[in-house]
A and B are shown apart, each in its own frame.
Chain A
Amino acid sequence: MLSKKIRELEELREQARQLVEAAGLDPWPVIFGIVDHDQLNEYSAYDGFPERFPHWSFGMSYDYFRKRSAYSGWWVYELVLNTNPAIAYLRESNTSVENKGVMLHVYAHVDFFKNNYWFSKTPKDMIKVMHTHAERVEEYMGKYGIEKVESFIDKALSLQYEIDQYAPFMRRAPKTVGEDEHGREPARIPVKRDYMDRFLNPPKWLEERRAKLKAAQERARQLRDETELLKPHKDVLGFIMKHGRLENWQRDILAMIREESHYFVPQIQTKIMNEGWAMFWQARLMTKFAQPNEFIDHADMMSKVLAGGALNPYALGKLIWEDIQERWDKGRFGREWELCKDPEKKKRWDTKANLGTEKIFEVRRTYNDVMFLSEFFTPELFEKLKLFAYEYIPETGAYHITSRSYEDVKKKLLLLHTNLGRPMIKVATGNYGNKGELLLLHFYNGVGLHLEEAKEVLKNIYSLWGRPVNLKTIIKRKVKDPDPMRNRIHPEHPMTSIYEEQGVLLRYDGESLRELALSPDEVKDIRLEEDYSTIPREWIG
């Protein structure tokens, strides 16, 4: 009985593979595991892996998935690992049409894993890596006690994503000044003809660079040891792993968590593209794969996965891919298109360029979500989606619709995906005040930290660093309540107070957490020239 079922699935898998290859996709081989409900929940809790290091947080995820599937019939649609060969799971109770849909979907993901630049540095045998991590942590638990090791992991996970996501793409470690440039001249732009030199390397510019280099060398000379940095460093986790007061097993655990995060980062960075890519191909190829009587079931299945409209990464991604295909098929790009101001003409625009397929494969090779949204979330697409931006207004205690403009919505959308949707934190030095204290900087883009949680993080970092921990950030301080009269004049929108930015240093020394006010000058270096607020000016004051 079972072998017959497996034979059938194997046939389906082969057909699916041929379909995706004929369409131009280029996936690794995929091994499909057939699992029951409970196994699917288990693997989902482990982010698709058969094993992870022991930690209660996976038990929490498992509990969540179990309750979801037991009480609402909800299940994880697809689970696929970025490994070669790739591993994916099919639910034992899937119908044939569900299996077909999931197989196409999975093959498109695997094509993406194999060919997208941002995945090019992840290890392709991550299952083994996860297995050794599980064994090593288990060994440490045997040696030092479950409680002790688990509570250390609790603290370490606070810094899980405080890594430099671009580090794998750098050719070498950042240069130390003086070593490479030999303390002499700043590098010049090479010129082909001598007369060009004074244009490409003007003396005034060279002079500025010389001064900068000198200052940097001066700073470098003043560095006392490795815990002092020339410029802020994004890999906070790596820095603490290297310089924190830790035992070897603790360092090892930080290294494992850091390695795992580097594996997961590309998936977070390309969520919209990757899910969209999978849905795009699933929808397109299913027309050839499904039996006539299966179309309604498939449509039903698609609508469940795509529910929620543009806020759902599956749906938004699919929309954008379809839009790119259409635009490049009809030649709706380039200077002429951009300059055309006649909406009627634009609507009928079709040069029969037929470049859509080529374009989407090019985009899937090099883009990540931020690039994808910046370039292809266009005003024309936005028009179709009925999106709005919202903000919290403390005076009413509610979220209000603030804008329906393309710029504002796009700004908010990018905020959700830039730097993994997280605030930018860097380490400035491990020898703050020459006392071996840690100084972290929050590069403030107008959106403040969740302060209470940040304080908890500082406490956790303290126990990894072993010395006082400081964080420089900016908070908002109310300076003036809104004029109560104006609320009466403008009942159509809420009025909010005037806020001012205030620099603060949060400091935890192992006993108490203190907040010290900083002058505007002291936080100049962490204030970015960005603004993500969409509150209309006339609501303020």
Chain B
Amino acid sequence: MPKRILKDLERFKRIVRGEIRKNLKELIETGSIVGQKGGDIVKVPIKAIRIPQFRYDPHEQGGIGVGAGEIGEPIQFDPTQDGVGQAGSGPGPHFREVEIEVRELAEILGEELELPRIQPKGHRHVLSGAEEYEDVSTVGPQALLMKRRAFRKGLLRQLLMNPPLAQHETIVVTPIKEDMRYLYGQPSEKPEANCVIIFMRDASGSMSGEKTEIIRQENWWIDLWLRTNYSNVERIYILHDYEAQEVSEEDFYSLSTGGGTRISSAYELCNRVIDRRYSPEHWNIYAFHFSDGENWIGDTENACVPLLRDTLLPKVNLFCYGQVTLGRRSPGLHLVKLKERIEDDRLVTSIISDREDILRSIKDFLGKGR
């Protein structure tokens, strides 16, 4: 019988999963998870998991703090979070939000969007470092001797050779060499799983504000899914207007420029980065590009299309283009032209006209299982 606590844990996890699944769309749209930096754990605000009780309104209750500060000064923490000042509550920790492992959240995302597991391009297989003891052998080093099992073998052998005469006779078990059993380890072979994600974004003035926020949300979930599918993930951020430039993650979401737009500049830089640093032999390459679809006249058909079709697409697992158009504005032509001129499984496009489209767009991009 499994331990009680594991059954309790199992039911708790089922409730959490159910709630996240039910609220996934809302969680994605409000962006309440996005922005939590790194780490293996994310905090998910889930009301339904708390057992409601009569308590004071934390705002009306106020509290006490310790340290310096003038009267009238605002204080820099949120006392409604658990911990400080909650002395009145009962035993056990009390929760306002649930902590969930990134891996679990990715699984839920995968199940909810029916995302297929990614088949990494397996060029090479490497021997993973850790040995896993999955077998038993009759020879081996002393350190891996399985004593209990050796005695059991010995007992069995002695019973078979000299059955005891009286019922309660004491049997002294002396294992001999043939009784010895050792753990046997085998280095397991695992596919190499390196992944690089190249995020590209049009930084011209028309792309700021809400559009950038949508891109940030979407990228967070894409990143979540990819990093749980690969053991090693690297990220490249490219901003472009008329020209393209590699930037930090922070700058990627905050910088905005005033120039025109020439998308091919980003695709060229993307191609150069791959050629210099991420040989398709060893890397699974994912490229995501977001813009509002407007481009320099002739740039899409004369520069982007041939570059993508002949050079870039053969190198990547997936090239995704998201056209972010807020409201009912007529979409730019970049997406239409790409779709017209290129037929390739590795190119996926998606239109995102508001936050509600993020979930579907993620599915468009990752639904191929590439």
Contacts and interface: CB of A to CB of B under 8 A. Distances in A.
Contacts of A403: 71
A168 interface: no
A392 B78 CA distance: 10
A422 B54 contact: yes
Q: Classify chain B: how many residues form its interface, as a range.
A: 35 or more
Nearest to A65: B93
B209 interface: no
Contacts of B72: 400-401, 492-494
Interface stretch (B83-91, B178-186, B213-221, B323-331): B83-91
Given A64-B99, A417-B88, A158 B52 contact: yes
A71 B40 contact: yes
Nearest to B39: A71
A447 interface: yes
Given A134-B4, A421-B88, A57 B12 contact: yes
A264 interface: yes
A64 B95 contact: yes
Interface residues of A, number: 88
Contacts of B250: none
B56 A61 contact: no
Contact of B71 (A46, A157, A272, A401): A401
A261 B92 CA distance: 13
B68 A386 contact: yes
Given A157-B51, A409-B64, A264 B90 contact: yes
Interface in B1-27: 3-5, 7-13, 15
Contacts of B10: 59
A500 interface: no
B61 interface: yes
B74 interface: yes
Contacts, number: 217
B64 A311 contact: yes
A397 B13 CA distance: 34
B62 A423 contact: no
B11 A412 contact: no
Interface string A394-415: 1010111111100001001101
Interface string B198-231: 0000000000000000000000000000000000
B64 A161 contact: no
A64 B60 CA distance: 28
B5 A451 contact: no
A55 B12 CA distance: 8
A458 B199 CA distance: 50
Interface in B31-83: 39-41, 49, 51-75, 77-79
Interface in A185-233: none
A166 B369 CA distance: 63
Nearest to B79: A399
A84 interface: no
B75 A423 contact: no
B88 to A, nearest CB: 1
B57 A389 contact: no
B51 A154 contact: yes
B54 A399 contact: no
A448 interface: yes
Contacts of B78: 399
Contact of B5 (A58, A390, A536): A58
B297 to A, nearest CB: 48
B91 A423 contact: no
A46 B5 contact: yes
Nearest to B40: A71
B49 A532 contact: no
A80 interface: no
Contact of B64 (A272, A388, A494): A388
B121 to A, nearest CB: 32
A448 B91 contact: no
A398 B90 CA distance: 27
- Interface-central residue, B54, B58, B79, by most chain A CB under 10 Å: B54
Given A60-B49, A401-B73, A392 B64 contact: no
Interface in A285-308: 308
B92 A61 contact: yes
B13 A59 contact: yes
Contact of B91 (A134, A264, A313, A401): A264
A460 B51 CA distance: 10
A401 B9 contact: no
A447 B60 contact: yes
A392 B55 contact: no
B62 A392 contact: yes
Most-contacted residue by chain A among B4, B62, B85 (CB, 10 A): B62
Contacts of B66: 308-311, 385-388
Contacts of B75: 390, 398-401
Given A60-B95, A61-B93, A532 B87 contact: no
A67 interface: yes
Nearest to A46: B5
Given A59-B11, A313-B87, A416-B85, A453 B55 contact: yes
B65 A390 contact: yes
27 contacts: A56-B8, A57-B8, A57-B12, A59-B11, A65-B93, A158-B51, A158-B53, A160-B51, A311-B64, A313-B87, A387-B64, A387-B66, A392-B62, A396-B74, A399-B74, A400-B74, A401-B71, A412-B62, A413-B64, A421-B87, A422-B54, A448-B57, A450-B56, A453-B53, A492-B70, A493-B71, A532-B62
A-B complex: 3 closest residue pairs judged by Cβ atoms: A421-B88, A59-B8, A493-B72
Interface of B: 3-5, 7-13, 15, 39-41, 49, 51-75, 77-79, 84-93, 95, 98-99, 101
Interface of A: 42, 45-47, 51-52, 54-65, 67, 71, 134, 146, 150, 154, 157-162, 261, 264, 267-268, 271-272, 308-311, 313, 385-392, 394, 396, 398-404, 409, 412-413, 415-417, 420-423, 425, 442, 447-451, 453-454, 456-457, 460, 476, 492-494, 532-534, 536
